[in-house]
Structure formats: C-alpha cells, structure tokens
C-alpha cells in the first residue's frame, strides 16, 4: 500500500513539472517563467499602456539584461505588439496558469 501511494505521488509530481504553461504569440513560443522575467525589465507604466501605443520596445531591446530568448523579437516589425502582449501576461500570469488567456497553451 505504501509503495502504491509513493508511486502515485511521484507520478503526479513528475506530470505537474512537465505541464508548465507555454505562451504562444504567432510563431513565437515561450515558457510562462520566461515571460514573467520580462516584468522585471518593464516598468509599471509601460505594462499599463494600451498595446497600440506601446513605446517600450527600444528601451527593452537595448537592455543588456534582456534574456537571449527575446532578442530575436527586437528585429521584427510587430515587436511592440508582441512585447506589449507579453508584458500584459507577465503582469497577470495567474490567468495564464489557469488557461483563461487566449495566447497561452500547455494546460492539460
């Protein structure tokens, strides 16, 4: 009985690790953990701006602390929209964790 209980706990722990949320915006895919790192690089005012007026891209792309995963986005024409959406997700990651944000996937 103890072996069965231990096996069930081990399997549930391993499955929860592999089921981390993935954020997909177009062809771009990031883990939720990577997206939440962006919040530290964006100020509160930038995150609250509407996406059509997002101007934080140049500041963000010139920041040496920007993770390598996001640097290819800087050269794309839709970078402001992508970074704005990522900033909104980073500000409220809990909605993504429960699969209510349309750009997120990976929940089972």
58-97 CB burial, b ≥16 within 10 A, e <16? eebeeeeebeeebeebeeeeebbbbbbbbbbbbbebeebe
Q: Does 6 map to a domain?
A: no
Q: Does 9 map to a domain?
A: no
Q: Does 52 map to a domain?
A: yes
Overall number of domains in the chain? 1
Q: Does 11 map to a domain?
A: no
Among 15-19, 24-28, 59-63, the minimum mean pLDDT is found in 15-19
Q: What is the pTM of this model?
A: 0.68
pLDDT in tens, 71-91: 999 999 888 888 888 888 888
Q: Which domain holds residue 80?
A: 21-105
- What percent of the chain clears pLDDT 70, i.e. is strictly above it? 57
Q: Does 7 map to a domain?
A: no
């Amino acid at each position: 009985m103890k072996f069965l209980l231990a096996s069930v706990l081990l399997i549930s722990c391993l499955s929860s690790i592999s089921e981390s949320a993935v954020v997909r915006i177009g062809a771009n895919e990031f883990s939720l953990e990577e997206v939440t790192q962006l919040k530290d690089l964006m100020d509160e005012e930038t995150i609250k701006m509407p996406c059509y007026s997002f101007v934080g891209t140049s500041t963000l792309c010139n920041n040496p602390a920007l993770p390598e995963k996001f640097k290819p986005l800087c050269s794309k024409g839709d970078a402001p929209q992508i970074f704005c959406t990522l900033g909104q997700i980073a500000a409220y990651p809990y909605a993504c964790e429960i699969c209510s944000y349309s750009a997120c996937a990976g929940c089972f």
